């Protein structure tokens, strides 16, 4: 009886916590779950149809540029994780600089990533099967699209911030507006997820082949 009661209490607690999540944040979390399912389906489909045969015949090494790009991507996480703290401290000037820095480093990552894919195709494109090449491009593009979505949201948040910085009253409203904090939290969820997404894709190709 006590075990059942404890289970009910825990269930009610989890349900109450779920109800506290803002609808916008719930949509983003659901989007992440759907994206994860799609990624798993693509990998599973490739594993069933082609991976076993490819693993026996394909021999390649990921270009070192991919490793450099991954380190740069991790640096964007360190930059991004400071933003909610800066918002709580009401330090809008540093927050704006942080956004610019994140966008700049992210742009470097995208350029490096595109160059790495080009380098990979140039070196192994003719020796790998069309199925493998298509899957490799699909996986890297899948992450790139997700990252671009996170970058677009970052630009929108930065635009909202820049528009209020000239007016002290608007700045004060911005610093105390729960919706602005919500946008930063949503952006943080997207940014962390896209970074985790690339790590999974990167490790899959690194370990599997």
Q: Give the CA angle between residues 96, 100, 101 to the nearest 5°.
A: 115
Tell how far CA 168 is from the center of its chain. 33
The secondary structure of 67-124 as a DSSP string is: HHHHHHHHHHHHHHTTHHHHHHTT-HHHHHHHHHHHHHHHHHHHHHHHHHHHHHHHHH
Note the pLDDT tens digit of each residue in 6-34: 554 454 444 344 445 667 788 888 888 99
pLDDT of residue 167: 85
Q: What are phi and psi of 127, to 5 degrees?
A: -90, -15
Q: How is domain 22-208 classified at the architecture level of CATH?
A: Up-down Bundle (1.20)
Helix axes 178-208, 23-46, angle to 10 degrees: 10
Q: Where are the domains of the chain?
A: 22-208
Note the pLDDT tens digit of each residue in 121-152: 888 777 777 778 888 889 999 999 999 999 99
């Amino acid at each position: 009886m006590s075990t059942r009661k404890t289970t009910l209490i825990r269930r009610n607690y989890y349900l109450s916590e779920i109800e506290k999540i803002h609808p916008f944040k719930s949509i983003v979390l659901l989007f992440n779950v759907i994206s994860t399912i799609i990624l798993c389906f693509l990998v599973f489909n490739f594993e069933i149809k082609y991976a076993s045969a490819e693993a026996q015949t394909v021999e390649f090494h990921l270009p070192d540029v991919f490793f450099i790009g991954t380190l740069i991507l991790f640096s964007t996480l360190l930059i991004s994780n400071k933003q909610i703290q800066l918002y709580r401290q009401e330090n809008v000037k540093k927050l704006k600089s942080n956004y610019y820095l994140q966008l700049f480093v992210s742009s470097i990552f995208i350029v490096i990533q595109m160059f790495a894919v080009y380098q990979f195709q140039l070196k192994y494109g003719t020796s790998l099967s069309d199925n493998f090449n298509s899957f490799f491009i699909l996986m890297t593009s899948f992450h790139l699209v997700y990252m671009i979505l996170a970058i677009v949201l970052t630009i929108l948040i930065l635009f909202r911030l820049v528009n209020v910085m000239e007016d002290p009253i608007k700045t004060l409203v911005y610093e105390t507006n729960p919706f602005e904090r919500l946008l930063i939290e949503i952006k943080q969820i997207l940014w962390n997820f896209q970074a985790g997404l690339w790590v999974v894709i990167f490790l899959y190709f690194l370990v599997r082949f």
